[in-house]
Chain A
Amino acid sequence: SQTIHQWPATLVQPVGSPLSLECTVEGTSNPNLYWYRQAAGRGLQLLFYSVGIGQISSEVPQNLSASRPQDRQFILSSKKLLLSDSGFYLCAWRGDRELSYEQYFGPGTRLTVT
């Protein structure tokens, strides 16, 4: 069965510090991967998606970046965090069964920038 992991679960970082959030998927190959952010207002904002190794598409211009160094690893980074980067970050992968278009989400990382 497939599972998706995210770490860390929670993070408190000062403004201006770097960020690295990691997401890994097990039990599937060549998945589509996604990074979302959920601010306090509850809406889900798609940040990045990847259809393969080294292929990253950005949805929202910002000081965040993403990388996919391995097939089942997706990393969200920042060189200098802003207060506005606080939020709940969710990684997701697309189901790999034919016509299975739903996305499956990881447990999330709660980031507080102080």
Chain B
Amino acid sequence: AQKVTQAQTEISVVEKEDVTLDCVYETRDTTYYLFWYKQPPSGELVFLIRRNSFDEQNEISGRYSWNFQKSTSSFNFTITASQVVDSAVYFCALRPRQGGATNKLIFGTGTLLAVQP
């Protein structure tokens, strides 16, 4: 079965705190892709990062960092020194190899992050 689990429904932090959003996936494919999206209050989903299953190197982009661990089937997202503008719903998604030409993505249910000033 292909599945993405974001167990944290809502997280509330105070500005400047670090916060980690968890993502656990299930797939039998050896080749797959993982993604994170941000959905601010305006509604549009913004693509943040893609990671393929062969690249376990962690990635850092400014205050954002991603920790991909195949051994635990996790692709966690950390925001360092959070800011109010980080308040949004964050989605993790999986594209298994069998997605083929349709390229369907499997989304988690999202984590609502609220950063308080």
Which A residues lie at the B interface, using CB under 8 A?
32, 34, 42-44, 46, 49, 51, 57, 88, 90, 92, 94, 99-108, 110
Looking at B18-26, B69-77, B104-112, the stretch in contact with chain A turns out to be B104-112
Contact A101 B99 (CB under 8 A): yes
Bound complex: CA A32 to CA B100 (Å): 11
Contact A49 B104 (CB under 8 A): yes
Known contacts A106-B44, A107-B44; A43/B104 CB under 8 A: no
Contact A90 B107 (CB under 8 A): no
Nearest residue (CB) in A for B102 is A49
Contact A32 B47 (CB under 8 A): no
Q: Which of B1-55 contact A (CB under 8 A)?
A: 33, 35, 37, 42-47, 50, 52
Q: Which of B84-117 contact A (CB under 8 A)?
A: 89, 91, 95, 99, 101-105, 107, 109-110, 112
Contact B103 A103 (CB under 8 A): yes
Nearest residue (CB) in A for B45 is A105
Which B residues lie at the A interface, using CB under 8 A?
33, 35, 37, 42-47, 50, 52, 89, 91, 95, 99, 101-105, 107, 109-110, 112
Contact B91 A101 (CB under 8 A): no
Q: How far is the CB of A98 from chain B (nearest CB, A)?
A: 12
DSSP majority for the A interface? strand
Contact B110 A101 (CB under 8 A): no
Known contacts A101-B33, A102-B35, A110-B43; A42/B110 CB under 8 A: yes
Contact B43 A44 (CB under 8 A): no
Contact A42 B89 (CB under 8 A): yes
CB<8 Å pairs between A and B, sample of 27 = A32-B101, A34-B104, A42-B89, A42-B109, A42-B110, A43-B110, A44-B91, A44-B107, A46-B105, A49-B102, A49-B104, A57-B102, A88-B43, A90-B43, A99-B52, A100-B50, A101-B103, A101-B105, A102-B47, A103-B47, A105-B44, A105-B45, A105-B46, A107-B43, A107-B44, A108-B44, A110-B43
